[in-house]
């Protein structure tokens, strides 16, 4: 039985993580400036706002290696939106200090309805929130050490050790619960504002989770780990467009047999949680459901490894039974086999078409616009690509010649031509990063795969957005029927 398609309208989208938004804090937030960004999308006739994963990051700030796939990043909370009198607004306070001050102000001055909302949230989310808050408290108590470097009873989740820790770190645990309450409160305000303006929120879910996460610490039995909690095989991809030695991500791999015997409950709960926040969800590295690259943990690169079967159609059928439709966009970039395509199409999942990958070959390249299909998402580029202006300025001669010939433009007009070709595509959804709308160069790219430093920091300010830009984008959306 074919699944119904999730892309039912011809729409345009923008890719911009909340950290990239303007504001007075050290990074963008999900508060007032996020709602203003929704308003800008309305003016530009953009109907979809795509974000990256929203979880609390590690020191490298990568949203694809979060401390939890269910929690929200407390750094994204807009501190200028008070929940009680004497609310702290200092944007420079460390998040833990700010959460403590905010919670104390909340306990002192919030009204009864808001207090009850917090209590109800903690109770409703206890299935994941209790472990997450304790994980964060213990990680702070151990000066940021990974959980496997804690005392063995805590790492192994000995019941007596956990009970003692909950009592010892009770205040910090409540701080972390409060942070998740605030994140959820502000995110749902943002979502309602988007819904009121017919803007869909498009989320992102990495297929794998970070080893140093509450997810793995609280449920080691779902992963291929040794008795000490160390992975003996890790995730990644073999050599591809992005890296000659492949990408060794280092994430622990799932024990799919154990998950299958449980009816994929862990994944279904995760998807249900994600879909309480967004209207559509991209699964990063979708091909891992068909087969995944298993790298021996002792290997330093991804050159040595093997393909292993994933859960395949059985898993996606469980998703379809739970949700009625599989509300997922498949990130199907890189080495894609006929089996991956068949799995994607069996469940009517839209794939991704990235125009930066389209040129330099022949007319059969699937990323060329004439090969697109309606059940797809077309991109000028993604968070892992250079900006389109940067890509065009650095493209080799063959690629540049082909692109200009195909798009009938001169090299200096290539970025604008790619943007127009993207939105002219027959793909039901076409998305461009905010950097491409702004015409920015390589120094503004969000991430360089395989490079550890300097990523995930790009940000714009409102004064960087020309007043006429939204009008010009809206005209393009009118032209290509994406309103």
- Which residues are catalytically annotated? 284, 331, 384
Q: Are strands 429-433 and 11-15 parallel, antiparallel or unpaired?
A: parallel
In sequence order, the 6+-apart residues with CB closer than 8 A to the CB of 330 are: 282, 283, 286, 344, 349, 350, 351, 352
Phi, psi at residue 251, to the nearest 5°? -65, 145
What's the CA gap between 186 and 188, in Å, rounded?
5
Angle, alpha carbons 141-142-144 (nearest 5°): 105
Q: What distances in angstroms separate CA 444 from CA 251, 430, 434, one per listed residue?
A: 28, 21, 10
| Longest CA span, the chain | 70
CA 37 – CA 201 distance, rounded (Å) = 12
* Strand order through the sheet with 233-237: 247-252, 233-237, 291-296, 306-309
Output the CA torsion 322→326→327→333 (10° steps).
140
Which residue matches tokens 């994430």? 251
CB burial of 368-403 (b: ≥16 within 10 Å; e: otherwise) equals: bbeebeebbbbbbbbbbbbbbbbbbbebeeebbebb
Separation between Cα atoms, residue 10 and residue 312, nearest integer Å: 29
SS (H, E, C) 421-470: HHHHCCCCEEEEEHHHHHCCCHHHCCCCCCCCCCCCCCCCCHHHCCCCHH
| CB contact set of 412 (below 8 Å; sequence gap of 6+) | none
Q: What is the rounded CA–CA span in Å between residue 172 and residue 178? A: 10
DSSP string, 246-291: -EEEEEEPB-HHHHHHTTTHHHHHHHHHHHTT-SEEEEETGGGGTE
Q: How far apart are CA 157 and CA 137, in angstroms?
A: 14
DSSP 8-state assignment for residue 26: S
Strands (E), 132-266: 200-206, 233-237, 247-252
| 91-96-97 Cα angle (round to 5) | 65
Nearest by Cα to 18 from 194, 176, 172, 139: 194
């Amino acid at each position: 039985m074919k699944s119904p398609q999730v892309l039912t309208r011809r729409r345009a989208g923008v890719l911009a993580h909340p950290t990239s938004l303007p504001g007075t804090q050290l990074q963008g937030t999900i508060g007032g400036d996020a709602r203003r960004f929704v308003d800008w999308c309305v003016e530009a006739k953009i109907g979809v706002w795509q974000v990256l994963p929203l979880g609390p990051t590690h020191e490298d700030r990568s949203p694809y290696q979060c401390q939890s796939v269910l929690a929200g990043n407390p750094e994204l909370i807009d501190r200028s939106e008070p929940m009680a009198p004497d609310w702290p607004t200092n944007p420079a306070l460390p998040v833990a200090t700010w959460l403590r001050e905010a919670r104390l102000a909340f306990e002192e001055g919030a009204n009864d309805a808001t207090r009850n909302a917090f209590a109800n949230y903690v109770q409703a989310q206890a299935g994941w929130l209790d472990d997450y808050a304790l994980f964060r408290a213990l990680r702070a108590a151990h000066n940021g050490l990974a959980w496997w470097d804690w005392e063995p009873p805590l790492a192994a989740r000995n019941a007596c050790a956990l009970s003692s820790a909950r009592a010892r770190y009770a205040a910090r645990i409540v701080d972390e619960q409060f942070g998740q309450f605030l994140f959820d409160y502000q995110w749902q305000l943002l979502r309602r504002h988007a819904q009121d303006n017919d803007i869909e929120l498009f989320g992102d879910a990495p297929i794998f989770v970070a080893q140093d996460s509450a997810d793995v610490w609280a449920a080691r039995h779902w992963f291929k780990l040794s008795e000490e909690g160390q992975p003996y095989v890790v995730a990644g991809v073999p050599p591809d467009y992005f890296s000659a030695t492949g990408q060794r991500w280092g994430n622990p791999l799932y024990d799919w047999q154990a998950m299958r015997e449980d009816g994929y409950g862990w994944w279904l709960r995760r998807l249900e949680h994600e879909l309480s926040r967004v209207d559509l969800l991209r699964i990063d590295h979708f091909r891992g459901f068909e087969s995944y690259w298993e790298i021996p943990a002792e290997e330093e690169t991804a050159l040595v490894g093997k393909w292993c079967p994933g859960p395949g159609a059985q898993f996606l059928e469980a998703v379809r039974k739970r949700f009625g439709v599989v509300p997922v966009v498949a990130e199907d970039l890189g080495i894609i086999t006929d089996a991956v395509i068949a799995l994607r199409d069996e469940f009517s999942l839209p794939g991704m078409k990235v125009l930066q990958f389209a040129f330099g070959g022949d007319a059969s390249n699937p990323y060329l616009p004439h090969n697109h299909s309606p059940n797809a998402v077309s991109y000028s580029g993604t968070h892992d690509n250079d900006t389109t202006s940067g890509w065009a300025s650095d493209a080799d001669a063959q690629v540049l010649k082909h692109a200009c010939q195909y798009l009938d433009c001169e090299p200096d007009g290539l970025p604008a031509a790619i943007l127009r070709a993207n939105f002219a595509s027959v793909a039901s959804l076409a998305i461009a990063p905010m950097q491409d709308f702004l015409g920015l160069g390589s120094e503004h790219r969000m991430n360089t795969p395989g490079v550890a430093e300097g990523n995930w920091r790009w940000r714009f300010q409102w004064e960087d957005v020309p007043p006429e830009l939204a009008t010009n984008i809206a005209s393009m959306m009118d032209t290509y029927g994406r309103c």
